Structures are given as structure tokens and as C-alpha cells.
């Protein structure tokens, strides 16, 4: 499993997704169409690395509730805040 960081340029938020997530589709997005308003960065090998990538870009990452919500509930080790799906 690997991870992707999604950044929405219009609404200024970022989310970390697992590659298998329907919202991510291995960095292709939900509709698998290129978009001017989004940026996908990855794949990376760990959630910690995804968080570092997001922070290095000046983004405040959250977990995608669809694919990583349970992980966020079970651990606070990453320091990532709650997200809205």
C-alpha cells in the first residue's frame, strides 16, 4: 500500500489518501480526469512521509475519512487533524 497527498487549490485543503481509495484512484482522482484545481503528490511509502510532503508544500494535511478514517480514530501518532469528506 502507498499513499497520495491531494491538494485542492480552490478551497485550500489537503488530504492524505491510500492508493486504493475511490477518491484517489492511485493519484488519478475520483473521475480520473486531469484538473487545474487539484494537485496529487505521490505515491509515497508511508503516512508519515505523506504528511512531510504536505507540510513541505505549506499544506495542513487531514486524513480522507473514506480510506483512512478508522486509522485516524485508532491512533493519534501522526498529529493529523480530523477531515470532512
Domain positions in the chain = 3-74
Output the pLDDT for position 12: 94
Contact 40, 53 (CB under 8 A): no
**Where does the pLDDT of residue 1 fall: very low under 50, low under 70, confident under 90, or very high at 90 and above?**
confident
- Over range 4-22, report the average pLDDT: 94
pTM above 0.75, yes or no: yes
Q: Tens digit of pLDDT for each residue in 22-81?
A: 889 999 898 877 678 999 999 999 999 999 999 999 999 999 998 987 666 555 555 555
Handedness of CA 25, 46, 53, 68 (dihedral sign): positive
Amino acid at each position: 500500500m502507498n499513499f497520495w497527498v491531494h491538494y485542492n487549490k480552490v478551497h485550500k485543503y489537503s488530504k492524505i489518501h491510500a492508493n486504493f481509495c475511490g477518491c484517489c484512484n492511485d493519484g488519478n482522482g475520483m473521475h480520473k480526469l486531469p484538473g487545474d484545481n487539484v494537485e496529487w503528490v505521490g505515491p509515497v511509502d508511508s503516512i508519515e512521509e505523506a504528511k512531510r510532503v504536505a507540510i513541505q508544500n505549506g499544506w495542513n494535511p487531514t486524513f480522507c475519512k473514506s480510506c483512512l478514517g478508522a486509522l485516524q480514530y485508532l491512533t493519534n501518532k501522526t498529529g493529523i487533524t480530523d477531515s470532512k469528506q
